[in-house]
């Protein structure tokens, strides 16, 4: 399986011209690394400008039309050729998104054939509890009531909240353990055939120094990169190191 690396730009950069410059400068140097599937997740407004790249939305709404001021539907995203949608990012959950809302968004995205990147993660590092109940609950509730066959398009991003944005990544050993627990939970819920196909990524202060170790030692299928994806040099180094593993 190709490794998946998603650049989560969050609310950056400030203009379309900069967005195009950033994606182009990364792609020029990274496209030769064919062992990596490279996806840009820019703010919604830049998606049309970046149509020639593989794209992810950072969020999605669950209804397809109607009076929902400010929301963007799966159908609208698909009309732009967007392939992926990040769902349940902790920064959205911090703004009030509940597990129930995440479930509706996941259902809508998977139902429409988008690849959905479901983010799960605990707020504090407390590793005496092997599998944080909050992560288990995020997984279970997100997945509930969705047709099993649709999970072929599911991706899980394990992002411990305390590791995001602060330059303090989790340890590869702990991420490895968490990825095993997540995979075991998926196996229990979805069965072997489906769960085996679901990629598990890590996100949280990934940079060009630790990316390789994460993918190798934590045996992951890829990375969700925030801050470091805004620096083309650093980000290309991440892609290169993962591609050359």
- Closest to ligand PGA by CB, 109 or 117: 117
Give the residue with the Cβ less far from ligand PGA, 109 or 228: 228
Which residue's C-beta sits nearest to ligand PGA?
226
Our answer to whether residue 217 is catalytic in this structure is no
The answer to whether the beta carbons of residues 186 and 213 sit under 8 Å apart is: no
From the CB of 165, what's the least distance to ligand PGA, in Å?
A: 4
Q: Between 150 and 230, name the residue whose CB sits nearer to ligand PGA.
A: 230
Q: Which of 39, 82, 200, 225 binds ligand PGA (CB under 6 A)?
A: 225
Q: State the nearest-atom distance from the C-beta of 131 to ligand PGA, in Å.
A: 21
CB 99 within 8 A of CB 144: no
Q: What's the CA gap between 235 and 123, in Å, rounded?
A: 26
Site string for ligand PGA, 134-173 (x = CB under 6 A): -------------------------x----xx--------
Closest CA to 92 of 110, 119, 67: 119
Sign of the dihedral through C-alpha 73, 155, 90, 164? negative
The answer to whether the beta carbons of residues 48 and 80 sit under 8 Å apart is yes
From the list 91, 122, 138, 159, the catalytic residue is 159
Rounded Cα distance between 136 and 125, Å, is 15
Decide: 125 and 170 in contact? Cβ < 8 Å.
Answer: yes
Q: How many CA atoms lie within 13 A of 158 on its CB side?
A: 31
Q: Measure Cα distances from 29 to 36, 113, 124 in Å.
A: 13, 30, 37
Q: What is the smallest separation between the CB atom of 65 and ligand PGA, expressed in angstroms?
A: 29
Q: Are 14 and 221 in contact (CB under 8 A)?
A: no
Does residue 121 belong to the site contacting ligand PGA (CB under 6 A)?
no
| Selection from 112, 119, 120 nearest residue 82 by Cα | 112
Binding residue for ligand PGA, selected from 205, 211, 215, 221, defined by CB under 6 A: 205
128 is catalytic: no
Q: Which stretch binds ligand PGA (CB under 6 A): 42-50, 76-84, 99-107, 224-232?
A: 224-232
The one among 42, 88, 222, 227 contacting ligand PGA by CB under 6 A = 227
Footprint (CB under 6 A) of ligand PGA, residues 56-85: none
**Could you give the residue numbers annotated as active site?**
89, 159
* Contact residues for ligand PGA, defined by CB under 6 A: 8, 159, 164-165, 203-206, 224-228
């Amino acid at each position: 399986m190709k490794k998946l690396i998603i650049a989560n730009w969050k609310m950056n950069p400030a203009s379309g011209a900069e967005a195009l410059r950033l994606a182009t400068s990364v792609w020029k140097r990274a496209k030769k690394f064919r062992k990596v599937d490279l996806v840009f997740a820019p703010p919604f407004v830049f998606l049309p400008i970046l149509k020639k790249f593989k794209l992810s939305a950072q969020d999605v709404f669950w209804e397809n039309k109607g009076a929902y001021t400010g929301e963007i539907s799966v159908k609208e995203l698909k009309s732009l050729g967007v392939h992926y949608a990040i769902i349940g990012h902790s920064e959205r959950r911090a703004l009030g998104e509940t597990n129930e809302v995440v479930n509706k968004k996941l259902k809508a995205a998977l139902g429409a054939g988008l690849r959905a990147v479901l983010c799960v993660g605990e707020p504090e590092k407390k590793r005496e509890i092997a599998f944080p109940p909050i992560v288990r609950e995020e997984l279970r509730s997100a997945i509930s009531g969705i047709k099993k066959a649709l999970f072929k398009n599911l991706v899980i991003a394990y992002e411990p909240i305390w590791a995001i944005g602060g330059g303090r990544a989790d340890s590869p050993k702990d991420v490895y353990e968490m990825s095993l627990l997540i995979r075991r939970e998926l196996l229990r819920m979805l069965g072997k055939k489906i769960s085996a196909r679901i990629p598990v990524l890590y996100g949280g202060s990934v940079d060009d120094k630790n990316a390789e170790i994460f993918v190798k030692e934590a045996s992951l299928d890829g990375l969700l990169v925030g801050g470091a994806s805004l620096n083309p040099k650093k980000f290309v180094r991440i892609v290169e190191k993962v591609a050359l593993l």
